[in-house]
Amino acid sequence: MLKCKSILIGVSGGIAAYKVCEVISSLFQEGAKVRVILTETAQSFITPLTVATLSRHQAYTDQDFWQATHSRPLHIALGEEADLLLIAPLTANMLAKLTYGLADNLLTNTVLASRCPILLAPAMNTEMWEQPVIQRNWQQLKLDSRYHTIGPGSGLLACDRLGAGRMAEPKEIIAEIQSLAYTKGQQDFQGKRILISGGGTREYLDPVRFLGNPSTGKMGLALAQAASDRGAVVTLIHGAIAPELLPKSPNYNLISMVTAEEMETAMISHLEESEIVIMSAAVADVKPANYTNYKLPKKELSLNLKLEPVVDILAKLGTLKKDHQTLIGFAAQTGDIVKPALDKLKRKNLDIIVANPIDTPEAGFGTNTNQAIFIDNKGEQKNIDSCSKLELAHRLLDFVKIRALNKV
Ligand code: CTP
């Protein structure tokens, strides 16, 4: 998800620092370039060796900051290459320093010498968190649009108390980083209604056997996440997606279905309210002509299965589309990807088509990465090299934005 993204993490001195180790490890697994600054007190909780091992890169401390060097000053170089700076845990002391713009160590100097968004994850004892001075600082800092915040939540604290001040969980922090690293907090699709299809449809022959395809739905999920992170009101109509891939508490509407016919009905019923429609589902092209409502014994299975075509949902949407709506299709192709995609763009009356090679190891069904050529109905093309599906989703939204805004 975070391939090509550079995430800088500033750790200040609190017991929740141990949880940041999980964040560092997960970010590295997600493909991000992870750099970590440890304040002096943070090193009482986690060591530079722990961080270096998890991030596969040296951890930076104040010692590195004060050392003579022939390269660029560290606080400037680190800030410049970061897409996002996470400060976790944010202690009472670090909060006060940020509020008043103090710069007395590597981390606070890096904050002031950079422009990237900053995500703050506070953690402290409830008494400390509820102090009026802390609350004043916190509210003051939130007025600065550069700062984004996560938590603190309530729960059992290291002081054995149940109360507010518990740092957000690593999984929540990762999800927020995924969103912010791409959007930088921008809400450029605010209030736009976007309808997306994803996953594969299944056409059953009997209760256990079906015709389908290996689509995992990752591209549809990435599109839904990207669009809702940018402020859109999103509905994702999806076929088969493994439950563990589905978000636990999505900030968009998820509607599940099985067959192409069900997907068609759902897409059409949501079409009118939608300004942008993206059809990324892998729809089965044919279905068994007959369905048996009991499991067919092997000897009753025909070796010449009678099939019939299923409706082409995208082509149908193309006939129903109004001028203010933008319709986007995908063309999963092997070999030459542009010519057949152009043909589908015209045939299905689309505004944009995403020509998608499925015969390379870094793209297609089930992969975490993808590559594509976006083509619009004026023939303009944009190549997107192999990147995470989330990155591709954001690049597609950038491409859609210019064209969709021209229609308003
Ligand atoms: N699609 C659809 N309904 C179908 C088949 C495809 O809505 N029954 C949509 C897909 O979601 C995708 C686009 O049409 O957005 C192109 O799908 P693809 O499988 O690449 O192409 P087909 O139109 O099925 O053509 P072909 O199989 O001949 O390449």
Would you say residue 23 lies in a domain? Answer: yes
Quote the pLDDT of residue 408.
65
CATH number assigned to the domain comprising residue 379: 3.40.50.10300
Average pLDDT over residues 243-254: 90
Computed over every residue of the chain, the mean pLDDT equals 93
Convert the pLDDT of each residue in 279-325 to its tens digit.
999 999 999 999 999 999 999 888 899 999 999 999 999 999 999 99
For the record, the structure tokens of 282 come out as 């892998």
From residue 394, give the alpha-carbon distance in Å to each of 81, 117, 120, 189, 223: 20, 17, 24, 11, 7
Task: Flag whether pLDDT at 247 surpasses 80.
Answer: yes
Q: Is 32 in the pocket of ligand 1 (CB under 6 A)?
A: no
Average pLDDT over residues 115-127: 96
Convert the pLDDT of each residue in 85-97 to its tens digit.
999 999 999 999 9
Would you say residue 281 lies in a domain? Answer: yes
Q: Does one domain contain both 355 and 235?
A: yes
> Under a CB-based contact definition with an 8 Å cutoff, are residues 77 and 174 in contact?
no
CATH number assigned to the domain comprising residue 94: 3.40.50.1950
Which H or E run contains 156?
strand 153-156
Quote the pLDDT of residue 152.
94
Active site residues: 159
Q: Does one domain contain both 256 and 156?
A: no
CA distance 375 to 363: 18
Q: Does one domain contain both 316 and 363?
A: yes
Task: Flag whether pLDDT at 208 surpasses 70.
Answer: yes
Which range has highest mean pLDDT (49-63, 299-313, 331-345)? 49-63
Would you say residue 264 lies in a domain? Answer: yes
CA 151 to chain centre: 20
The percentage of residues in the chain with a pLDDT greater than 70, rounded to a whole number, is 99
What is the extent of the structural domain holding 113? 6-183
CA distance 134 to 149: 15
Interval between CA 358 and ligand 1 midpoint (Å): 14
Ligand 1 atom with minimal separation from the 309 CA: 8
Which of 121, 149, 183 terminates a domain? The answer is 183
Evaluate the omega torsion of the peptide bond into residue 170 and state whether it is cis, within 30 degrees of 0.
no
Would you say residue 338 lies in a domain? Answer: yes
Q: Does one domain contain both 174 and 223?
A: no
Which of 183, 214, 236 terminates a domain? The answer is 183
From residue 13, give the alpha-carbon distance in Å to each of 6, 86, 107, 240, 396: 23, 14, 12, 45, 41
**Count of domains for the chain:** 2
Q: Does one domain contain both 179 and 298?
A: no
Q: Does one domain contain both 204 and 74?
A: no
Task: Flag whether pLDDT at 354 surpasses 90.
Answer: yes
Task: Flag whether pLDDT at 368 surpasses 90.
Answer: no
Would you say residue 232 lies in a domain? Answer: yes
Ligand 1 atom with minimal separation from the 197 CA: 11
Evaluate the omega torsion of the peptide bond into residue 250 and state whether it is cis, within 30 degrees of 0.
no
Q: Does one domain contain both 217 and 113?
A: no
Would you say residue 1 lies in a domain? Answer: no
